[in-house]
A and B are shown apart, each in its own frame.
Chain A
């Protein structure tokens, strides 16, 4: 059952509120890059991916579409999305980053958390793992798709480009790369540290059909993902996003990459999200 734009907006706002609460409660975590990817995840899980919250109890589990969060530090966004989809109880979100939690700082399959396909966190590896999954699915004649979300700063990792070459070498039409291009990394602007531009031309040159969209426009996200799904070559979506999206004082501010809000900022941010 897909969601309307209005419903997606409500969903993503709930996810953003959960991200805020999780990071505030944990007193650490990555808010900025989680907020920038919330809308992409909302569309992906609600309207695009063939996946059941029943997870391994779903009889069609093997046929599920796979999602790999290569930018593993955006785990709060993924956890909140999965919980709001019903993969696990929302109460568990507040165990994020606590000892013995299934919600590790970066996603881990070791904890058995429903919805996590692969452990990530060390940047530049998720795309390559996703390519391996896509190859395995092809060998098994499994039609499932593999969606991967990377950060734009992450594109500075050389291993990303090795993986892109591998995907296009093997003509993997079952992989869809989404770059959450929020233009910021820990030390500042991506373009002033080590520019990845022109990213569309680079991705095209590496054999990916590439589209550029507004990563906060639900219709644009959905259209692009639908194009990716039926593409007969590897497909990339450059999603222009705003780091910290949804909380005015966090937006476009690298300082909120990996910082937890104090109580005062938390209340202010919560109020902004409640008034959406």
Chain B
């Protein structure tokens, strides 16, 4: 399942490429953007299918309700902007016009998390997964890399209903091999076996968690790594996969309130209670800085996660 060569790729380009593929297969695919087409890469679709692309301008609320209207005429609509503006600003529109009506609208939000970088707190969506996860009918997906973004977008195109797909801004090392990996929304992905603890993660943090597990291994600590791209509905296989590990650590590029960590806590506390440590940004806003600096500052690099886990275990 893993890609053998080391290569950094843009998850946003994966979105653009996937849109072109599904656009060719399905004439009902319509794409909207809110003046960020060059960033989100919906411009790639626009180039191929200008009749099916609409730039709604800097009006995210209008984009979401327009998407709802288009969907009511039978279209499968992809609506994109930055995660910050795709979630908080238009939450009422997403709730009442898209989710309440259970329409076929896919919100693909780029620039999720602290790694937005230099733009700072106003552009760093750290709560978007929490907002979206609370909405009935909404599926929430946080893919890890180029390969998974592409597959998740195709999955969205082929399966009815509201979905929120969160994509990172930065180019990331591609983990999964395009031919061997198969995205399955009903299962988590066991990346590595381990018995002392289970790290459950997704998105950009998967790579950090994998490196962290290697560091722990050198100290004789055996960490299982579970990748959970679908935060809602969270696959229940997590219960069984963590049944023999005494500790769970969740790691996400998102607030510890309401995201993957919360979802895991909800499931584990109901079915097999045990200690869960949530790693993410705390109850606070971000700030400007380079991507790596920010990950370091907010404790989201492999080293920082390693230090934290070591502190807990010893």
Contact = CB atoms under 8 A, between A and B. Distances in A.
B69 A132 contact: yes
B189 to A, nearest CB: 34
A159 B73 CA distance: 21
B62 A166 contact: yes
Given A122-B96, A125-B97, A166-B56, A136 B62 contact: no
Given A125-B97, A139-B75, A118 B68 contact: yes
B59 interface: yes
Contact of A136 (B59, B75, B92): B75
Contacts, number: 98
Interface string B118-156: 000000000000000000000000000000000000000
B67 interface: yes
Contacts of A42: none
Contacts of B57: 162, 165-166, 169
A38 B6 CA distance: 67
Contacts of A140: 73-74
B80 interface: no
A132 B61 contact: no
A170 B100 CA distance: 27
B51 interface: yes
Contacts of B71: 132
Interface string B82-95: 00000000001100
A230 B127 CA distance: 47
Contacts of B70: 132-133, 135-136
B51 A136 contact: no
Contacts of A158: 61
With a 10 A CB-CB cut-off, give which of B52, B59, B71, B75 has the most chain A CB atoms: B59
A222 interface: no
Given A128-B66, A130-B69, A131-B69, A119 B96 contact: yes
Contacts of A135: 54, 66, 69-70
With a 10 A CB-CB cut-off, give which of A140, A162, A169 has the most chain B CB atoms: A162
A170 B55 CA distance: 11
A118 B101 contact: yes
A128 B65 contact: yes
B160 to A, nearest CB: 15
B82 to A, nearest CB: 18
Interface string A229-270: 000000000000000000000000000000000000000000
Main secondary structure of the interface of A (DSSP, over half): helix
B72 interface: yes
Nearest to A164: B62
Interface in B7-63: 30, 51-52, 54, 56-57, 59, 61-62
A225 B281 CA distance: 55
B61 A162 contact: yes
A169 B67 CA distance: 16
Contact of B73 (A119, A121, A136, A170): A136
B75 A108 contact: no
Interface in A80-137: 108-110, 117-119, 121-122, 125, 128-137
A136 B96 contact: no
Contacts of B56: 166
A162 B69 contact: no
Nearest to B66: A132
A163 interface: yes
Nearest to B101: A119
B100 to A, nearest CB: 5
Contact of A132 (B68, B100, B102): B68
B52 A162 contact: no
A133 B69 contact: yes
Nearest to B67: A132
B168 to A, nearest CB: 28
B96 A132 contact: no
A5 B74 CA distance: 37
Contacts of B51: 139
A197 B102 CA distance: 36
17 contacts: A108-B100, A109-B101, A118-B69, A119-B96, A128-B62, A128-B65, A129-B66, A133-B73, A135-B66, A136-B69, A136-B70, A136-B73, A139-B30, A139-B73, A142-B73, A158-B61, A162-B59
Given A129-B65, A135-B54, A162-B61, 12 more contacts: A118-B68, A119-B100, A128-B62, A128-B65, A128-B66, A129-B69, A129-B72, A132-B65, A132-B70, A132-B71, A132-B72, A136-B72
